[in-house]
Amino acid sequence: MTVFSRLLQNRLAVAGLVVVSILFFVAIFAPVLSPYDPGAIDANEILSQPTSAHWLGTDGLGRDVLSRMIFGARVSLLVGFVSAGVACFIGVILGAVSGYFGGFTDTVIMRFVDVMLCFPSFFLILAVIAYLDPSIWNIMIVIGITSWMGICRLVRAEFLSLREREFMVAAESLGVKPFAIILRHGLPNGLAPVFVAFILGVAGAILTESALSFLGIGVQPPDPSWGNILTEGKSTIEVAWWLSVYPGVAILITVLGYNLLGEGLRDVLDPRLRER
């Protein structure tokens, strides 16, 4: 039975896969699905309630909220995947080197990991962003370089086990260079948990970006983001509830979808869990 067929047997994972697939579809076809230009200002429709013309209402500049949320899905996908990719890249490299070489190298890397874990990630991101322009690329990179520690520990644990396997010992006895062993033999056999960590990391990055945008140091207007839509909703909650409810629900469903998919992949890829 293939991984995909086992995944389809997990109902919660299927629900997560559906949510992620819909998000991808919306992000890719945003120009087609969006009923209005997300940046179009209409002074006659300021803070208009949800109607047949504007399904999710309008904001303080008369912009269509549905259109802005559709284009905001692109921001969420971009931030999630780039940030998680950066975190995985750093974590996999350091974790593989630490787990394979062990000894002094392992001690240095793991102490550095411990130091990084001492700082609350969100406040570390705030501190870094304060010295940089709050552009989307800076945000993605900063989120990535402050969230790799868990992946590093995960990969290290895998390599501590893999380096004792027969195929790794045989490669060493044949004189294969250490980094060639890591690339050719270690990584292909130790990356399964990383896929799960990557999916869960996407959810965490989306949530972090939304929080930064809500605080005003994330994606900057007029670029649409679920977080900066929420920011405007904060000041108009009494007269424009839809600016807070709809983006909040979108963030909730998206993060939940990625978490469900990640948990489903963990159950499918971990043989110890499949045997239960």
**How many residues does the structure list for the chain?**
276
Above pLDDT 70, what percent of the chain?
96
Sketch the domain layout of the chain as residue ranges.
Answer: 3-274
Q: Judge whether residue 266 has pLDDT over 90.
A: no
Read off the pLDDT of residues 74-120 as tens digits, 9 standing for 90 and up. Answer: 988 999 999 999 999 999 999 999 999 988 999 999 999 999 888 88
Does CATH number 1.10.238.10 belong to domain 3-274?
no
According to the model, what pLDDT value does residue 270 have? 65
Read off the pLDDT of residues 169-211 as tens digits, 9 standing for 90 and up. Answer: 888 888 888 888 888 888 888 888 888 899 999 999 999 888 8
Give the residue, 273 or 50, on which the prediction is more confident: 50
According to the model, what pLDDT value does residue 276 have? 46
According to the model, what pLDDT value does residue 253 have? 94
According to the model, what pLDDT value does residue 271 have? 54
